[in-house]
Chains A and B, each alone.
Chain A
Amino acid sequence: MNDAELKEAYKKMFDDVHASDELRGRVINLKHRNRVITPFKATIGTIAAAVMIFAAVNEYGFVENTDGVISQTTVSTQTPQAEISAVKPEATTAPQKPKTTKKPVAVKKTDAVAVLPVAQTPEPSSAPVVAEHAPAEAEADIAAYTAEGEMASYGGRAIVGNDADNTTEIWEINRYYNYIGTDIGSSINASYTGPQSFELDTGADGTPVEDMLSLTYLSANGGNIRITVSKSAYFDSQLSGTVIESGNGYNAYKVSSGVYYQIYTTGMSLDEVQTIVSGL
């Protein structure tokens, strides 16, 4: 098959690949919101019924901070009033293996350049600091990248390389939660199922150059949740708080406290998804 034949065969193949009428309608209605479910407004009854499962956190992932503490149920003051719950639900902790469970305290959102909070003062060391209850995967990740004289590891991160512009680091999930200023797992009724560490490029100020991560969770009812999170992608989205039906389930978009969230779910009810959105 020569180039021209390949081109003709390829075009013929894809000429019949089209977006469905249903998808077409959903896309058009994104702008006009004819079929978009109205932004979810927290109700007392809904929030009171929510059962919180706290994501297991590493001990040095969070700072006890009485200044601007964000509770597990109350959204930051930057969030529109309609999304702030009037009632704090009963909090229930559930241990997650293999880590211990601790009530998380989210650090007040501060300028990312000014502060990257760590729970413990790092001791300079050529060996990676591994928390007592560090998850096996994070330990393996950090250990795999340790090299004498090249590495410094502290506060849930390990530097694995650098070039003229950026440093490549491995961050533990809790460090990322600290960075974005919220523990997502504590806000939604789901257990975290994603990786325990991520490779990120950081600039001279130590903040990620590209900070969008996909975090995955499993709901109590077996639904799958993927939340794409980013501070750098934050903007005042006009679709914030909106839940949209997709071909697989429900998707939602939210901006809150300087963080941009895209939520993708399967196997979950509309009420469950709306609860997630309101909890972020």
Chain B
Amino acid sequence: MYRYTYDEIAEKYIDTIYRLAFSRTKSTQYAEDITQDVFVKLIDSRKSFESEEHLKAWLLRVTINLTKDLFSSAWFKRTSELDENISYTAEEGSDLPHALSCLPKKYRTVIHLHYYEGYRVDEIAQITGASQGTVKSQLHRGRQMLKTIMEEGETVE
């Protein structure tokens, strides 16, 4: 069983969770709430973890689940505003931030887990609860959409 201290895990993974939450919600406010809630769940969780990687994957999965709940609520539909003050650092002239914001969140999630967190398809499938085939398809489709948006300046439905 993996033994850890809360402070150590919080310090180490708060940015990881925040980034994923932000990539899904596109809002600093909701990302902050989600991040806080993830750690509430960690405090209250009685789950034991086999390794640090197991713990990290659990944190990411909880983050995804909490954002799902947020999106499905009437609250989100009534009070959400796209956060235009996106704190990305992109190369001058890069269309990547805009292109990413146009992607459906399921594609943004797999793109983020793959390109930023470095997870393989099978690992992403475990985190998201989707099949490997679905993850592969979402990754491929997400990349294609990014390419289309950035090259042609179009928003793909």
Contact = CB atoms under 8 A, between A and B. Distances in A.
Contacts of A7: 115
Interface in A38-63: none
Contact of B36 (A216, A224, A246, A266): A246
B19 interface: yes
Given A9-B96, A16-B88, A228-B69, A214 B75 contact: yes
A10 B14 contact: no
A246 B33 contact: yes
B19 A17 contact: yes
B33 A251 contact: yes
A16 B35 contact: no
Interface string A1-41: 10100110111111111111001101110110000000000
Interface string B56-97: 000000000000011011110011000000011111001011
Interface residues of A, number: 45
Interface in B14-59: 14-15, 17-19, 22-23, 28-29, 32-33, 35-37, 39-40, 43-44, 46
Can you list the 4 inter-chain pairs with the closest CB atoms, starting with the nearest? A214-B73, A16-B89, A226-B75, A19-B18
13 contacts: A6-B143, A9-B91, A10-B111, A13-B96, A18-B18, A19-B17, A19-B18, A31-B6, A239-B44, A244-B36, A247-B32, A248-B32, A251-B33
Interface of A: 1, 3, 6-7, 9-20, 23-24, 26-28, 30-31, 193-195, 212, 214, 216, 224, 226, 228, 235, 237-239, 244, 246-248, 251, 253, 262, 264, 266
